[in-house]
Amino acid sequence: MYGKIQQHLQNELNAIREAGLFKSERIIVSPQNAEITLNTGQTVLNFCANNYLGLSDNPQLIEAAKKALDSHGFGMSSVRFICGTQDLHKTLEKKVAEFFGTEDTILYAAAFDANGGVFEPLFGEEDAIISDALNHASIIDGVRLSKAKRYRYANADMEDLEKQLIEAQAQRFRIIVTDGVFSMDGNVAPMDKIVALAEKYDALVMVDECHSAGVVGQTGRGVTELFDIRGKVDIITGTLGKAFGGAIGGFTTGKKEIIELLRQRSRPYLFSNSLPPVVVAAGIRMFEMMDETNELQDKLHTNTAYFMEKMLAAGFDIKPTQSAICAVMLYDAPLSQKMAARLLDEGIYVIGFYYPVVPKGQARIRVQLSAAHEREHLDKAIAAFTKVGRELGVIK
């Protein structure tokens, strides 16, 4: 039986390879940090992790995780509503709500699950979901799982959003859904305008803060802080897998009735295992750290501004950013791959992205800044970009 499909799968794999789209994985043998060691023995500076606050290898989080291993054990072997809820889970949910200034929080195994499980319980055939065209795959999948009518607007295009809102007036409830920060350009969703349109056209607002939580806004409270719209966003989803320690875990936080209904009906919550205590305890410690000091946000913002300024001065074409993502535009796909490879030779680990991950003719290298980067790391990266950029004719 396998024989027939095996040939088919082999053909698919070959087609992916021939299209130059085959993704291979580099193997890291050190913890995730600003400096990492690859299995080739090469030590490189890491500019492609979502480790925005440098917490992936943070001693305080490791300590909290070790303690929880002793006090609360290793695994939960249960979903939350049977016997998978510890005091730790309730504490972390409260911490998330305090951080975002929301009413209640529900934890998931990942933000992919939070987004996958948020729409179907809340919206039915008579409702409308109005989604940004560049929203994350998990939002797209989550929307597909609901029976609501779907509307799509061009990325951050408020004229188009208004058009869709007008069309969606016939529906019972409407919700506008957007990423807070779009991961390929680093642009922030225009939340002030989105909230204003939501008020005008009677819609709820949901924002996915995966790339913005911990990063955007003066104290890292995300887009609701940046635009001063706390309390005006009904649903926030986010991850513990990026700025917030980088391990695993997702959450939905917002209005209490919404969260309560999700606990009753959200399928990835009801039918998937609880987060392990080590992860939850480290998460609690992480939110305590966020309350104690703003040092990491300050350092990240300083690093991003410094990197942007020097790279623009060197002549690179970089998309405007309000996040920790800098898209160094090259436009040409093979050039993006060549440049990333040359940068790795120079000890700088970055990834070149091209179609279909970004639009045709929009190839780029995405640089992700971190509070773990020291000034010397940034200078080394800028020097390497400048050297390789000149060599490849990207800059003069």
Ligand X SMILES: *Cc1c(COP(=O)(O)O)cnc(C)c1O
The total of other beta-carbon atoms located within 10 Å of residue 109's CB is 18
Among 53, 61, 96, 111, binds ligand X (CB under 6 A): 111
136 binds ligand X (CB under 6 A): yes
Binding mask 236-255 for ligand X (x = CB under 6 A): ---x-x--------x-----
Q: Which residues are catalytic?
A: 183, 211, 242
Stretch that binds ligand X, among 10-18, 78-86, 109-117, 351-359 (CB under 6 A): 109-117
Q: Residue 356, preceding bond cis, omega within 30 degrees?
A: yes
Q: Pick between residue 249 and residue 277 the one whose CB is nearest to ligand X.
A: 249
Stretches 16-24, 124-132, 206-214, 256-264: which one binds ligand X (CB under 6 A)? 206-214
Q: At residue 142, what is the residue type?
A: G
Residue 132 as a binder of ligand X (CB under 6 A): the answer is no
Q: For ligand X, which is the closer residue by CB, 117 or 241?
A: 241
Return the residue of 93, 127, 208, 234 that touches ligand X, per CB under 6 A.
Answer: 208
Question: Could you write out the DSSP letters of every residue in 28-65?
Answer: B-S-SSSEEEBTTS-EEEE-SSS-TTS-TT-HHHHHHH
Long-range contacts of 357-364 (CB under 8 A, 24+ apart): 357/184, 358/184, 361/331, 362/329, 362/331, 363/330, 363/331, 363/332, 363/333, 363/335, 363/336, 364/184, 364/319, 364/327, 364/328, 364/329, 364/330, 364/331, 364/336
Identity of the residue, 137 or 305, whose beta carbon is nearer to ligand X in the bound complex: 137
Which stretch, 70-78, 96-104, 207-215, 374-382, contacts ligand X (CB under 6 A)? 207-215
Regarding 210 and contact with ligand X (CB under 6 A), the answer is yes
The pair of structure tokens assigned to 288 is 């305590």
Pick the binder of ligand X from 56, 138, 253, 266 (CB under 6 A).
Answer: 138
CB nearer ligand X, residue 304 or residue 386: 304
- Candidate residues 104, 127, 179, 234; the one interacting with ligand X per rule CB under 6 A: 179
Cα separation, 23 vs 5, in Å, equals 22
Query: Which bin fits 246, alpha (ψ -120 to 50), beta or left (φ > 0)?
Result: left
Measured between alpha carbons, how far is 328 from 118 in angstroms, rounded to an integer?
34
Residue 391: count of CB within 10 angstroms of its CB? 12
Q: How many helices (H) and strands (E) does the chain have?
A: 15, 13
Using CB under 6 A, count the residues that bind ligand X. 14
Question: Is the CB of 238 or the CB of 277 nearer to ligand X?
Answer: 238
Q: Which of 58, 105, 183, 253 binds ligand X (CB under 6 A)?
A: 183
- Footprint of ligand X (CB under 6 A): 110-112, 115, 136, 138, 179, 183, 208, 210-211, 239, 241, 250
